[in-house]
Structure 1
Amino acid sequence: MDWKLSHEKLISNPNSAYASLVHLQEEASMQCHSSVSPTLGCPLRQYSGGLSDTRTSCGASFCSEKDSLCHAGADTVEPMIRPKPVSLKRVYAMLGPDWIYGVVGTISAFVAGALLPLFALGMAQSLVAYYMDWHTTCQEIRKISILFCCGAVISIFAYAIMHLCFGIMGERLALRVREMMFSAILRNEIGWFDDLNNTSPMLTGRLQSDATLLQTITVDRTTTLLHNVGLVVTSFIIAFILNWRITLVVIATYPLLISGHISEKLFMQGFGGNLSKAYLKANMLAGEAVSNIRTVAAFSAEEKILHLYARELVEPSTRSFLRGQIAGIFYGVCQFFIFSSYALALWYGSVLMGREISGFKSIMKSFFVLITTAIAMGETLAMAPDILKGDQMAASVFELLDRKTQVNGDAGEELKNVEGKIELRGVQFSYPSRPDILIFKDFDLRVCSGKSMALVGQSGSGKSSALALILRFYDPTAGKVMIDGGFLWVLCYLLHETKHQH
């Protein structure tokens, strides 16, 4: 090549190496600054020393590093797509094979829930018995003690059977969900695994956590709900039979009572809240200082690091103090609601006794039964936020199960004889994880049956990408990948059938 020629004369020959290099550089620059549409195409020049049956790709390796820098920001700010909500009917339909355990567990949950109001009724009856004469008191207390012992034995069997049945249902549900998720993962195309959200550690973590969480929000939620249903129904029946007037007054204050007990339970768990994000900067600073302790010691920067660390702790300390004050105020408000409800019920009971409408016995029994029920409901419903927040995770499970692979190898015509002639015709391809980086454009390749062909090129020139297309790890954006003149999915079907036969 005469290097004394001008740029115009060197580029005038479209088949020259100089023109090919300039053309590749221009395309690399265009790809870095704008997205390449699959419909746009420019015919590649045949490379003068290449294989006779092969045309080169667009040279993605010349711009791979620049493109990764250009698009790094776009990959990191990609919005998180929320999965579609899943109906409860579909979630609970997965428990269908173990319905017998559900029936037995439901009956046990109702019995276990009914024991607490009966316990409160016994306590109220024992309190009333102490105001009777000594002989009657001894008889009543003896009777109540025997009933308490019987209730203790029944509660052992009821709670054991309830947790056993629902535990078996939960474990079998988790096993089925893991098997279905693993099968769904294996059905996906190779390009799906290129996504950073679908790496091996992420998927193995989802197999463990998502199935367990689905078990929790399905089985534990059902257990809590059925237990509370038995609790409420039994307590209301007993209270309305004993004294319907005081029952209506206490039920009117139930929203304050239950919300007060729920808030009290939540505030007792910790007033600081989740401050992990607030401590994130301080933790990162400490981690960097420890990992680079030699550099810190070499520059005598210990005092500076301590000053920076203390400054990062100011904001979490302030937020924790404010949350503590707010939690204390609301805790006091919750206590006010609870004791005000007690006061209203007892005051109204005194009014009924003063007018001789109701007696002390019926009022105290109804009051104890309803108040004990409210406390129990508040403690169990305090766990509701932890159970309900798993709905989105359950939706992600079904999103994985419902996903249809973009490469379907289960359809096609069975070939009796395969010669093995492979041909790539006008292939255009870019990886699904990097759709803006074009790997092949108008790429042609023909490999005859029984012949060996070497794909030669620098690192990143597309050698492994060509093999991935032949193995049908990916489908081309445009063009055809054929074997013996037919589309590649015929080969995939043949391999699929052969694998199952062996």
Structure 2
Amino acid sequence: MKVVGGQQDDLASKTKTKKSSEASDEAGATISAAIQGIRTVHAFGMEKVVADEYALLLEKNASIEKKAACASGAALGYGQGAPMMFYAFLFWFGAFLIAEGDVTFEAMMSSLFALMTSAFGMADGAQLAGDQAAAKAAAKEVFALIDDTSDNEPKGGQIPKQCQGTVRFQGVRFAYPERPDVLVYDGFNLSVGAGQTVALCGPSGGGKSTCMALLLGFYRPLAGS
């Protein structure tokens, strides 16, 4: 019976871990986007809207945690209370058998403690079920990230014997996947010679960081090279 309680706690923990992780990720993405674009948020007076949306997501997560806590508490209470009820039944039944002369007191106690020691050993292992469920959920996300492949991985390439160290953009057209209709570069040309220092200046969203992102291979241009 105590093992059953541990299994129920395991099930509750698995459900909570997955749903809570999704809710936390959504809340984290919301506040992260708001902080990154804090100037835009402030310019349009959206501070309260963003704060209310973030609070709503936190309440959603709190609701999930509360339900999981109730389920886990019920499973723990059952797991702790069931052995006591089982003890009571065994002592009553053992007393009945002793009164009938079917067993001796020593035999009854030996059987009782052998049985309960085995049961508690299994129950101690079941108590780790909650941690095991959380670890499995975390491992699934970690391995999904490790196994993820990028669409920007080069399909081929060359290994030159000598490099001049020149960086050159030729007719580059580029838009971020999240905003395909907004061109950051439209026929962008730039040549930086070896040892040359170039400063990119411009307003936010002008494409300064995009230049480095393309150089590092984080994205592929729509056209150009």
TM-score (norm 1): 0.26
TM-score relative to the length of structure 2: 0.50
User: Is the radius of gyration larger for structure 1 or structure 2?
Assistant: 1
